[in-house]
Amino acid sequence: MNENDALIEVHRGNHIESAHHVHIAVVDSAGTLLHYAGNSNKNIYARSSMKPIQAIPIVETGAADYYEFSDADLSLCTASHSGEAMHTDRVTSILKRVGIDDTKLQCGTHIPRWQETYKNLIKNDKEVTPLFNNCSGKHTGMLATAMFMGEPINTYYELDHPVQQRIMQTVSEICDYPQEDIEVGIDGCGVPVHGLPLERLAYGFARMANPESLGKERAEHVRRVTKAMTAAPEMVGGTDRFCTDFMIAGKARFFGKAGAEGVYCIGDTQTGLGIAIKVADGNGRAVYPAAMETLVQLGLLENNQIEQLKEYHHPKLKNARNEIIGELIPHFQLKHIALA
C-alpha cells in the first residue's frame, strides 16, 4: 500500500476480501489544509453533500421568513430523507404554505428508503410520487424561493434558471472557488450538481462552521441553516441514518451531510474545521467508517460519542441468516501538514 493510500478494508473471516480507497481533506476556516489522506485536491461532484450550501439562498432571498420556515422546515431542505411520514408530511405542509402542491416537484420518483412507507403505499394501492423522493425537501426549498421571487416554477431545476444561478454563485462564494471553474453535471434528482476540488468543499464546510469571514449578514444566514440541521437532525436523514445519529450524538456541535457515490462532509462549529471525504469507487458503505475514523484521529469525539456511533465506525457484515460474518475496518493515518 502506498503511504498516502487510505483504505476501508472489508474483512470476511481472517481474509481482507475487498478494500475501498478514500480521499480526505481537513481544512480550517482560514482556508488552510491541515490534514489529508489520498488526494485532497481531487475534483469531485459534491452530490447531496452540497445541500446545506444550496439551502442558503432560501434564507438570503427572504423566502424562509415569508413562508415561516421553522428549523425543521429548513433542515428538510438540506435532506436526503428516508421518506418517512415526518418527512413527506412536512414537505406537503411547506408546499401548502407556498401555495402549490407536489405535482410541481421536478425531482422524479424512486422507492422510499423507509420500508414501512413503501409497504403502506403498496397495501393502500397508492403510487410512489415525487413527494417520496429523498430530495423532495431540497426541491421544495427551490420552489419556495422561485415563488417568492416571482420566477417561473416549471423550470426551476434548469441550470439557467435564477434559482440555480443563485445557488451556483453561493457555492462559488462559500467555497472560494471561481464560478467558471465549477464543473456542472446533472444530479440524480435532475438539478445541477457541482464539481470542485475536495479541499475547496471542505473549506466551504469550514466557513459554514465558522462563518465570520463571510460578513455579518451572510454569517447569520449560514448559522440559521446549520442550526436548523442540528436542531432537527431527524429531517436530514431519518431513523437509523448516520447524518441524523451523528448530529444527535454531536449535541449541536457538528453538522454533517452525505452525498451519493461515497461523499461525506462535516462542519465542526467548535473548532471551525471542515472535513470532506470521497470514496474513490463510490461505494457508500465505506464513507461512514472513513468519517468516523477521521473524527477519532482528529480527537473531535468523546469516548461516549464514539461508543454511541460504533456501528458506523466498524460496521458488521451479516449474511442472509442475520449472522455476523465480517466487518469494515478503516486502515489509514491522516497526514499532517506542518505549518511554518
User: Residue 236: what pLDDT?
Assistant: 98
Q: pTM for the full model?
A: 0.96
Instruction: Give the C-alpha separation, 245 to 237, whole Å.
Output: 9
User: Residue 54: what pLDDT?
Assistant: 98
User: Residue 340: what pLDDT?
Assistant: 57
Give the number of C-alpha atoms closer than 13 A to the C-alpha of residue 189, restricted to the C-beta side: 28
Alpha helices (H) in the chain, listed in sequence order: 51-54, 56-60, 63-66, 71-76, 85-98, 115-123, 136-149, 162-175, 198-209, 216-231, 233-236, 242-250, 287-297, 303-308, 310-313
User: Residue 242: what pLDDT?
Assistant: 98
CA angle 198, 184, 150 (to 5 degrees): 115
- Render pLDDT for 131-157 as a digit per residue (tens, 0 to 9): 999 999 999 999 999 999 999 999 999
Intra-chain end-to-end CA distance of the chain, in Å: 29
Strand partners for 330: 8
Task: Tell me which amino acid residue 295 is.
Answer: L
User: Residue 329: what pLDDT?
Assistant: 97
Determine how many CB atoms are found less than 10 A away from the CB of residue 287: 25
Q: CA–CA distance from 166 to each of 9, 61, 118, 183 (Å)? A: 40, 10, 35, 16
- Which of 157, 152, 153, 106 has the alpha carbon at shortest distance from 131? 106
Taking CB atoms within 8 Å and a gap of at least 24, the contacts of 15-18 are 17/326
Query: SS3 of 52, please?
Result: helix
Determine how many CB atoms are found less than 10 A away from the CB of residue 319: 10
Tens of pLDDT, residue by residue, the chain (340 residues): 454 579 999 999 899 999 999 999 999 999 999 999 999 999 999 999 999 999 999 999 999 999 999 999 999 999 999 999 999 999 999 999 999 999 999 999 999 998 999 899 999 999 999 999 999 999 999 999 999 999 999 999 999 999 999 999 999 999 999 999 999 999 999 999 999 999 999 999 999 999 999 999 999 999 999 999 999 999 999 999 999 999 999 999 999 999 999 999 999 999 999 999 999 999 999 999 999 999 999 999 999 999 999 999 999 999 999 999 999 999 999 999 877 5
Q: CA–CA distance from 269 to each of 81, 322, 328 (Å)? A: 23, 39, 29
User: Residue 41: what pLDDT?
Assistant: 96
- Render pLDDT for 272-302 as a digit per residue (tens, 0 to 9): 999 999 999 999 999 999 999 999 999 999 9
